[in-house]
Structure 1
Amino acid sequence: MDRLHARYPFLDAARAAVDEADVDLAALVRSGGPAVDRGVGRVESAIETGDVGEPRRVRAELLSYPVARVVVSLVDDPRLTDAYARAEARTAHERFVDDVEGSAPASLPEGIDLQQLLAEFDLAAAVDAGVGEDRCTVDVGPYLRLASGLEGEEWRLVARDLDGGRVPVEREELYVLLREAVRERVLAGLPLSVPEPVAETLEPEVERVTRSLSDYELPRSVAAELTPAAFPPCVEALIERARSGEELPDHSAFSLVAFLVGAGADPETTAAVTGLDPEAVAYRHERLAGENGADYPSPSCAVMQAYGDCVPVEERDERCERVDHPLNYYATAVEEVSRSEP
C-alpha cells in the first residue's frame, strides 16, 4: 500500500494492493477503527458536501474505500449510489488536475500523470494529447460514452468539429471526461453482494447513513423568516418568470412552492414572493406542509434538471457545485450570510 493507492483508491493497482494485503473484510468491520470510520465518513461527505472529505493515513484511507462501497451497497438507494460515485469522481478530479498540472503539494510526490490516467481507463489509444498544449482529440466512441452524462450543449457532438472520427476537446474538458471515467469505475459493481456477518456488524453505520440521506433529500425548514438573498439561482429564475406574468408549468410551480414551504414560508409569504394566485398557493401549501411534506418532497437538483427548471451552467455559482438540493443551497447560504453579519 502506498500513498498513490490511498489518493486514488479506485485504481486497479490500489485494488491489487488491498488483495495482496489479504485483509479480511469481516474482521476489519468487526474491529471498527479508522478505516471503518473513514469509510462511513466518505459516504456521509458525499451526501453532505458532494466530495469524500479529508484524507487520513495511507492504510485507513485505502481500506476505507471498500468499506464505503459496502455501506453504499447496504443502504441500496439509487440516489446514494449516484451521489457517492459523483463525490468520488469529483474528489479524484480535483486531485489529478493538481497532479497533472503540477500544483499538488510538494509533500505529496506520489502523484499521477496524464498518461497513467489514460492507460488506467484504456484511453491511451483513444486520446491524442499531443495536438497542442491546451487541446486534445478523443475517438468519437469513448467521447460519446463519457460525455453522455454531462449537461450542456457544448458536449453534444453537433457542437464539435468532428474530424476523421476524432473529437477536439480542450485540456480542461479532457479532465472532465476522465472524471466521468472515474464515476463509471466507482459505479461498476454497485450494489455489492455483502456477506450477512458484515451487514449485521455495519447495521448502526448503515442506519446513520440512511438518516443522513433522509435529511439530505428532505431538508428541514431552515428559517422562520425568508432570506431571498440566499435563494439558489434556479429559484430566483422561477420567481422572476412567475412575477413577469408567465404561467408556469405545473412541475415548475410545484418546485417553486415546495422550495418555499421547505424554507419555512407560509402561504401568504409564498404568494407575495412569487406573485402566484393565493388560492392555488394555499392549496399547494396544504398538500405540501402536511406530514412535513413527506409525500411531496421539495425536488432535488437532479429532479430540477430533469424538469428543465435548473438554470444554464453559466448562470450557476460556486455554491451550486457543492450541493445537490436547492434547500441545502439555501441553508448553506443563510448560514454564510449570518456569519458575515456584524
Structure 2
Amino acid sequence: MDTFHARYPFLDAAREAVGAAGVDLATLVREDRTVVERGRERVELALVGGTVRTDQHVTPRVEVLSYPIARVIVSLLDVPGAVEKYAAAEASTAYERFTDEFEGRSTLGGSDLSLDDFLCEFDLADDVRETADGHRVAVGTYLRLAPSGPEWALVRRSLADGTVAVTRAELYELLREACEERVASGLPFEVPDPIADPLEPTVRRVTRSLSSRNYPRSFDAAPTPDAFPPCVEHLLAEARAGADLPAHSRFALITFLAGVGMDEEEIVETTGREEESFAYAVERLAGEGGPFDPPGCTTMQALGDCVNPDTLCESIAHPLEYYAERLD
C-alpha cells in the first residue's frame, strides 16, 4: 500500500493492495485503533466539512485501510443523507487531487496518474475521445454522469455521431461524478456482528458529534451580511476576488450562505462566482439534494478556515450561532 493507493482508496488498485496484504476487517476493527480513528475522522470530516482530507500525518497503510472502515461506519449510521454526503466528500477530495495531477500542479510526488488511467479505471476509455478543443463523450455515458443543472442539459450541447462535446474541465467534473458513483456503490450494506460490535462505541461517538451541533436552523430576517462571522467574511472576500477555494472552504461558505436563507441564485450573486464549477457546487450543496449542514467552529479551525476570530467567537461553537447573536 503506497501513496497512490492512499490518495484514491476507492480505485481497483487500492482494493487489490488490501487483498494482497491479507487484511481481515474483523481483526482490524478489534486491534488497530489508529485505522479505526482515521476511519471515524474520515466520516466526520465528510459529513460536516465536505472533505476527507486531514491535517494529521497519516501513513499510506492507515489511509488506505481507513476507507473500508469509513464505509462500515457510514453503513451503521442512522443519519439521513449520510451515504450521499460521504460519497460526495470522497469524490470532491479525489477531484481536487486528480485535477492537480492531470494539470501538473501536484507537489505530492509518488504518482504518475494520467487522465487515460482514470478513464480506463471507470471503463470510459472507449466512450471518451480527445478533440482539438476538448473532448467528446458518448451520449449514454454523458447522460449517466452529467450533474443536474441547466448548463448540462443535452439540448444545450453539441451532439453528433452519438457523442457530446465537453471541455476538459467539464470532463473532470464527469469523472468526479464517476468517483462519487463508485464510492456510493453498495452503501449502505449489512455489517456482520463481528465487525459491527467492536465499532459500536465509534458509531455512537460519530452520532453524538453530529447531533450535538446545536445552532439556529432558520432565520426570520432576510440574510444580513453585516452579521457574518469573520471566517465567512474572509471566505466571501476570497471568493469575490476569484480565489481558487479548496473544497472544504467552498463547502463552508456555500452551506453557511444557504443556512442563513439564501437560495442558489442569491449565493451565486453574493459570491460573484458564475463559473460552472462553482454554480454546480452551489446546486449540489444548497439545492434540492441539500442543504448540507455547515461545519462548526472546531471543523473550521481544523481545516484552516477560522481566521481573525473576535471576542464573540470565544463564546460560540458554530458560525450560524455567531450570526444569530449578531442579529440579536
Question: Fold-level match, TM-score > 0.5?
Answer: yes
Instruction: Give 1:108 deviation, angstroms.
Output: 1.5
Larger Rg: 1
Give the counterpart of 2:204 among 197, 201, 207. 207
Equivalent residue, structure 2, for 1:118: 119
Cα distance in 2, alignment partners of residues 64 and 309 from structure 1: 36
- With normalisation by structure 1, the TM-score equals 0.67
- In the alignment, structure 1 residue 220 sits paired with structure 2 residue 203: no
Structure 1 alignment gaps of length 5 or more: 233-299
Instruction: Give 1:112 deviation, angstroms.
Output: 1.3
Contact 2:49 2:294 in 1 (8 A): no
**1:140-179 alignment runs, 5 A limit:** 140-147=139-146, 150-179=147-176
- With normalisation by structure 2, the TM-score equals 0.70
Cα distance in 2, alignment partners of residues 330 and 198 from structure 1: 30
- In the alignment, structure 1 residue 58 sits paired with structure 2 residue 55: no
- For 2:173, the aligned partner's letter is V
Instruction: Give 1:37 deviation, angstroms.
Output: 1.0
Cα distance in 2, alignment partners of residues 166 and 313 from structure 1: 33
Contact 1:41 1:53 in 2 (8 A): no
Instruction: Give 1:325 deviation, angstroms.
Output: 4.8
Structure 2 alignment gaps of length 5 or more: 218-222, 230-253, 313-328
Cα distance in 1, alignment partners of residues 190 and 115 from structure 2: 33
**1:175-186 alignment runs, 5 A limit:** 175-186=172-183
Cα distance change, pair 76–326 in 1 and its aligned pair in 2 (3 A): closer
Cα distance in 1, alignment partners of residues 35 and 268 from structure 2: 39
Cα distance in 2, alignment partners of residues 339 and 32 from structure 1: 40
Instruction: Give 1:79 deviation, angstroms.
Output: 0.8
Identical aligned residues as a percent: 47
Moved more, 47-56 or 307-316: 307-316
- For 1:140, the aligned partner's letter is V
Contact 2:49 2:295 in 1 (8 A): no
- For 2:143, the aligned partner's letter is L
What are the Cα deviations for residues 21-53 of structure 1, in whole angstroms up to 9, with x where unaligned? Answer: 111111111113221111111100001210002
- For 2:13, the aligned partner's letter is A
- In the alignment, structure 1 residue 328 sits paired with structure 2 residue 294: yes
- For 2:60, the aligned partner's letter is V
Cα distance change, pair 313–137 in 1 and its aligned pair in 2 (3 A): farther
- In the alignment, structure 1 residue 19 sits paired with structure 2 residue 22: no
Contact 1:42 1:53 in 2 (8 A): yes
Instruction: Give 1:204 deviation, angstroms.
Output: 1.2
Instruction: Give 1:214 deviation, angstroms.
Output: 2.6
3-state SS, counterpart of residue 90 of structure 2: helix
* Higher relative contact order, structure no. (Cα contacts within 8 Å, ≥ 6 residues apart): 2
RMSD value over aligned CA atoms?
3.5
Give the counterpart of 1:92 among 91, 94, 113. 94
Equivalent residue, structure 1, for 2:83: 81
Contact 2:48 2:293 in 1 (8 A): no
Equivalent residue, structure 2, for 1:138: 137
3-state SS, counterpart of residue 187 of structure 2: coil
3-state SS, counterpart of residue 137 of structure 1: strand
Cα distance change, pair 329–41 in 1 and its aligned pair in 2 (3 A): closer
Cα distance in 2, alignment partners of residues 335 and 227 from structure 1: 20
